[in-house]
Each structure stands twice: as structure tokens, then as C-alpha cells.
Structure 1
Amino acid sequence: MISQRLFAEFLSTALLLVTVVGSGIMAERLAGGNDAVALLANTLATVGGLYILIELFGPVSGAHMNPAVSAAIAARGQLSWTLLPAYILVQLLGAACGAWLANAMFGLPLLEFSTKARTGVGQWLGEIVATVGLLLVVLRAPASRVAGMVAAYIGAAYWFTSSTSFANPAAAFGRMFSDSFAGIAPGDVPAFIAAQSLGATLGVTINKLLGKNHV
């Protein structure tokens, strides 16, 4: 049922943001000012959360949790274009609700905006690279291995990209509602989403150029 698929996308995206934002808040509080330790903790929680969420909700909605992924899946004919706007809407709503829930759990204001600046050509390029890679993994990974491969890629990209690999317009949207380690200032979100959109387009194009998997 369409309602079940949309609910699954809402819930999985909300839980993804709870994982990312909540672990960022916890890591920041426990790391004693050591950003490397905080990022490592944030990474490990995100990797585990992503794997579980894809395995759990994938059979229901695909567990895209990401408008760029949903658009790519629609482009390859596996999601109706008429359903795509609804997927994106519930992903955005889920991301915001997930950030608010994380704030509430850690005693932060329910509705706040991040002051963490994330801007500059290097970070935008990092988001392009992160999203290209994510789309290639999603589009080319064997179905039985997609959860592990997506989780592993995002975990690695947290460290090898300058932007810590958002690679997800919904995540960028949701993370602006938490003034924490994982946050992003609202004014920096449009450029991140533009970079992610470009990265997704490049990822789809590269996938087509590579053709079908032969092994």
C-alpha cells in the first residue's frame, strides 16, 4: 500500500536523523572537545543505524531516506514519478521530526536552528563527491549487499570528504534544526543541496556510462 510505503519512508528518515543528530550530541558531550573522537563516535553510530534501517525498511519502501536516491530510483523506472513528490515530502518531514526528537531526548530546545557554518568550495566539492559515490553504490550494489555497502561507504566518506558526507538533501534540511556537532547553519543548506543535486546527476550519468554489471 502507498500509505505504508510513505509511512516507512517518514519513519526511516526520522530514525536516521535521530541517529545522526543524537549521536552527534552525545559524542560532543563525551569527547571533551576532541573533534576527531566525536566524529569517530558519530560515524560508528551512523554506520550501524544506516545498516539496520535499510535492512528493516527496505522491503517496505526501499528505505531511500534521501530525495536524491528517490529521484535516481525514479529515473531508472523503479519508483513512479507521480509518487516521487510524496516520497520527498515525507523524507523532509521525517528529517525535521528526527532532529526535533533528538533535541528533546538530550534536553535541548525542541525547535532551534544550527549556528554551525559549513560552507566554501571545498565543502561543496566534498558533497558532490560524496553524493556521486553514494548514488553509484545504490545503483550498482547487489540487492543482497546494498545495506552493508551503503553503510560502509557513508562511514568512509565521513572521513575522506571535507563536508563529512551529508550526501542527502533531507539530512541537510533536518540537521539545520539542531545546534549541535551534526548541525548545519540554515544559510548553508541551499548550497549543500545544490551540490548534492549535481552529485546525484553525475552519479546517475556515470552509472549509465559504466553500463550493466558483468560479474
Structure 2
Amino acid sequence: MSQYTLPLFCKTIEAHKVTIVYLVPPVALELAQSTLPSQGGINLSSIRFMTSGAAPLSPAIVQALLARHGIKILEGYGLSETSPGVFLMDGYFRTGDIGVFVKVPRVGTCIRVTDRLKELIKYKGFQVAPAKLEGVLLRHEGVADVCVVGVQDQQQALATEVPRAYVVKAPGWKEGEEERVVAADEIRRWSDKKLANHKKLRGGVVFVDSLPRTPSGKLLRRVLRDTNFGGKAKL
């Protein structure tokens, strides 16, 4: 494919009876939210599984792909610098990733990567992983894509970071400009019920048309922090 579009992507899989698909989270998200295969009569049954890499994959996307299209997706972890294996080296290799080792029945010990050290939000001594918040927010019907970053809250007595969500709204959900404040408040209150106190979106919800990403699909949180995307939060 010289250029990616979802219809061409699906038709290519059908035409060549592709069995294993390698993709990045933005493509997985688009496919998970699309009814194209079923409504367009495109047959993706040749796929044995998909593999995602280059950026964290939300469990919500994994569940949506399985529920909507019956497609299983695996998540890989590696680095260009290790070409690409990670677990075959003597000693430690500092990557800046944060993870925990977990015991999985009938599988063994696995590593669960939770976030990047430099991307953690520090709220009054608590560490908040943006990727976990994003995974929760993607379950909301009005959220098509989301990025959470820490912003300085000077109103707090000790001046601390608070989580703020930059959201791309789902097509057709509360389209009117006058509904934006109501929509932002709805998402914030919905997420508050599902998050621990220190993880709540005290920085508010800001709607954007798109999120900055690298060509491989990684969210550029630094761009959002530096530009502040329009300033004040919609609370």
C-alpha cells in the first residue's frame, strides 16, 4: 500500500487473504470503531490475529476489536536500540518505561508496561499514569481518541500537576458548539466515578480536532504540554 486508508486496508486483507496483520494503535482504534467490514461486505475472516506495537494499546481497543469483528490482537514490546529483543540481555537496560512482572496462569511470568517515567503526572505525591486514564476514557461513547497530560495547577496550595484530557469527540456526539461545555462536564463526571481520587481530571477536558502523533502512532504528549492547546480547560 502506497497510502493508508481504512477501506483499502480492509480490501487488501480480503484480496490477499492476509493471516497476520501488524499495525499501530491508531489503526487498531479506527478499525475497532468502524462498521466498514460488516456493512461493506468485506470478509476479514482470514485474519488469525493482529499484532500492535510502537505505542501503548488500550484494553478497550482490544475488547472492541474482539466484540465487533471477532479479531484477536496481541501487543508487542521492544525498542529499536535492542533490535528488537528486550529480555535476552545480562543486567538492566534503562529505557524509561515503567512496568511490573506478573504471573499469568498457564503462561508464566510476563511484563506489563504501565507507562513512561517522564510522562507520569505527579499529583500531591501520587504518581498518575496517563495511559491508564486514557484506557478508561476510551470506553466513553463520546470519546474517539484521547491524550492525558499533566498541567500545573497554581490554585492548589502546594502548586501541583493535575491530569487534563485532550479529547477528539466521536462523530455525531454532541456536535453543537453550545454543547461543548456540557459534553466536557459529562465526560469529566463520568470518569470521576471510575477513577481513584488522585487520578480525577482536575485539569478538565479540552476538545481538539486531532492529536499530535509520530508517524508510528505514538502520542506526542510534550507537544500538548508545550502548546497547551488553547489554554483554559473546559470544566
TM-score normalised per structure 2: 0.26
Relative to total residues, which structure has the larger helix share, 1 or 2? 1
- Using the size of structure 1 for normalisation, the TM-score is 0.27
More strand as a share of residues: 2
In our comparison, the structure showing a higher alpha carbon Rg is: 2
